[in-house]
């Protein structure tokens, strides 16, 4: 469900801008929808590409490591654009995310998570009812 940008009431703090399930084949459309919502919410163009990249990395991880589907909730919360991606995989903790660029420390995976944590203003991993929930956010101002 994509918010209608013409509705000013949908811009209230905490309102959902985008809520949907996704699969691998839907990732290109998901990126476009996240870009559109980020622009409408007021995320500056200079940071918008990083936000879309971060969302794509987490969504791709949900597809690859957690059964091929995921759920995304994008909303404006105060002065942030927040995205929560959940999956039904085995879950993981932030401890698994490399502290330095993967490959330099001997790690062979985790580059997308490392990058996402690097470019966002807020990043957290938590356990969902099943699987993991990754929350990332960027300040709008």
Q: Are 95 and 132 in contact (CB under 8 A)?
A: no
108-125 average pLDDT score: 85
28-51 average pLDDT score: 96
- The pLDDT-based confidence of 1 (bands split at 50, 70, 90) is low
pLDDT digits (tens, 9 = 90+) for 72-108: 999 999 999 999 999 988 776 666 665 666 565 555 5
Question: Does CATH place domain 17-139 in 3.40.50.2300?
Answer: no
Among 119, 126, 109, 129, residue whose Cα is nearest residue 65: 109
Between CA 135 and CA 131 the distance in angstroms is 13
Between CA 39 and CA 2 the distance in angstroms is 13
pTM: 0.83
Alpha-carbon torsion (128, 131, 107, 46), positive or negative: negative
42-50 average pLDDT score: 95
Other residues' Cβ atoms within 10 Å of the Cβ of residue 99? 10
């Amino acid at each position: 469900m994509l918010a209608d940008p013409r509705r000013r009431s949908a811009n209230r703090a905490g309102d959902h801008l985008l809520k949907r399930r996704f699969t691998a084949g839907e990732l290109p459309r998901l990126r476009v929808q996240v870009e559109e919502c980020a622009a409408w919410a007021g995320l500056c163009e200079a940071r918008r590409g990083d936000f879309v990249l971060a969302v794509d990395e987490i969504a791709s991880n949900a597809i690859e490591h957690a059964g091929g589907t995921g759920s995304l909730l994008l909303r404006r919360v105060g002065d942030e654009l927040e995205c929560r991606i959940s999956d039904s995989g085995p879950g993981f903790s932030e401890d698994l995310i490399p502290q330095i660029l993967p490959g330099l420390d001997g790690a062979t995976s985790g580059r997308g998570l490392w990058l996402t944590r690097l470019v966002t203003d807020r990043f957290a991993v938590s356990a969902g009812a099943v699987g993991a929930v990754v929350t990332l956010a960027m300040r709008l101002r």
